[in-house]
C-alpha cells in the first residue's frame, strides 16, 4: 500500500512539474572586453522577437577559441557588464563560467544550468558568423539537446546550418570590442559606443591603454 501511495505521489509531482510553464531564457555569452551598446541591442532584439522572459549576460573566464584575444581580469569585465545592464530588469548576469574558471565550454555550462534550473528553456545567442563553426564546438551534438541556438543575421554570413538555428534580424551596428579597445589606446572618444558608466570605468581604471 505504501509503495502504491509513493508511486501516486511521484506521478502527481511529475504532472504538476509538466503543467508549469517553462521560462524562456536567452543567454548572451562572450568575453565582453568591453561590453558595448551592440551587445545590448542584440539582447533586446532577440528577447523581443522570440518572446523570451529574460536574457542573461554570461562573461567567460577563458574563451576556448584558437585565436583567443587578450582579456582583462574577469572581475573588471563582470563589473562593466553590470554597469551596462543596470536599470533593465529584463537583463541579468550569470557567473557560471567565471566561477568555474578555466576554459569555458558551452556544453559544460549548459549541463550545469539545466541541473540547477530544469524549469528553464535556454536560447543561446551567437553571431551569424559563428554558426558555420558550430560543427567544431565541444560536444556539439549533445549540446544541441540542451539548448536552442539563435543566430543573429550578419551581412555575408551563411543562413544555413546542419543544426537547427533560429535566425533573428538585428539592426546593423558597426561597433565591436576590438574597435573600442583600439580607440581607447589612441585616445579617441568611445561615447555612445558604451554606456556612460562603462566609459567612466575604463577611464578611471586606465584600461586598454597599452
Q: Is the pLDDT of residue 58 over 80?
A: yes
Grid cell 543562413 in the structure block, residue: 159
Nearest to 79 by CA among 28, 32, 135, 26: 32
Q: What is the CATH number of the domain that holds 124?
A: 3.40.50.620
Query: In the numeric block, which cell numbers belong to residue 143?
Result: 549540446
Domain-located, residue 180? no
Q: SS3 string of 53-94? A: CEEEEEECCECCCCCCCCCCCHHHHHHHHHHHHCCCCCEEEC
Average pLDDT over residues 12-39: 82
Domain-located, residue 112? yes
Domain-located, residue 12? no
- Confidence at residue 63, expressed as pLDDT on a 0 to 100 scale: 60
Cα distance between residue 123 and residue 189, in whole Å = 34
- Confidence at residue 3, expressed as pLDDT on a 0 to 100 scale: 52
At 80-120, the pLDDT tens digits run 999 999 999 999 999 999 999 888 899 999 999 999 999 99
Cα distance between residue 78 and residue 68, in whole Å = 18
- Confidence at residue 64, expressed as pLDDT on a 0 to 100 scale: 57
Query: In the numeric block, which cell numbers belong to residue 67?
Result: 585565436
Cα distance between residue 27 and residue 54, in whole Å = 9
- Confidence at residue 7, expressed as pLDDT on a 0 to 100 scale: 59
Give the contacts of 39 (CB within 8 A, at least 6 positions apart): 28, 30, 32, 57, 84
- Confidence at residue 154, expressed as pLDDT on a 0 to 100 scale: 76
Q: How many domains, in total, are found in the chain?
A: 1
Query: Would you give the DSSP letter of residue 191?
Result: B
Of the two residues 170 and 104, the one the predictor is more confident about is: 170
Highest mean pLDDT pick, 62-76, 77-91, 156-170 = 77-91
Cα distance between residue 51 and residue 45, in whole Å = 10
Domain coverage including residue 124: 23-53+62-90+97-157
For the chain, state the CA radius of gyration.
Answer: 19
Domain-located, residue 82? yes
Give the contacts of 155 (CB within 8 A, at least 6 positions apart): 172
- Confidence at residue 69, expressed as pLDDT on a 0 to 100 scale: 54
- Confidence at residue 97, expressed as pLDDT on a 0 to 100 scale: 95
Amino acid at each position: 500500500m505504501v509503495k502504491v501511495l509513493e508511486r501516486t505521489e511521484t506521478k502527481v509531482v511529475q504532472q504538476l512539474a509538466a503543467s508549469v510553464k517553462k521560462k524562456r531564457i536567452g543567454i548572451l555569452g562572450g568575453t565582453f572586453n568591453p561590453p558595448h551598446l551592440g551587445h545590448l541591442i542584440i539582447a533586446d532584439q532577440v528577447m523581443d522577437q522570440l518572446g523570451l522572459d529574460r536574457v542573461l549576460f554570461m562573461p567567460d573566464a577563458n574563451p576556448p577559441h584558437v585565436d583567443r584575444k587578450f582579456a582583462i581580469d574577469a572581475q573588471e569585465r563582470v563589473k562593466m557588464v553590470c554597469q551596462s545592464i543596470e536599470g533593465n530588469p529584463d537583463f541579468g548576469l550569470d557567473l557560471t563560467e567565471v566561477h568555474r574558471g578555466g576554459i569555458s565550454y558551452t556544453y559544460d555550462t549548459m549541463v550545469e544550468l539545466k541541473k540547477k534550473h530544469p524549469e528553464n528553456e535556454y536560447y543561446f545567442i551567437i553571431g551569424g558568423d559563428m554558426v558555420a563553426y558550430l560543427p567544431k564546438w565541444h560536444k556539439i551534438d549533445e549540446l544541441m539537446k540542451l539548448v536552442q541556438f539563435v543566430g543573429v543575421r550578419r551581412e555575408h554570413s551563411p543562413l544555413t546550418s546542419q543544426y537547427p538555428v533560429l535566425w533573428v534580424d538585428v539592426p546593423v551596428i558597426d561597433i565591436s570590442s576590438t574597435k573600442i579597445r583600439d580607440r581607447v589606446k589612441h585616445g579617441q572618444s568611445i561615447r555612445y559606443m558604451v554606456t556612460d558608466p562603462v566609459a567612466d570605468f575604463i577611464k578611471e581604471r586606465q584600461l586598454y591603454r597599452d
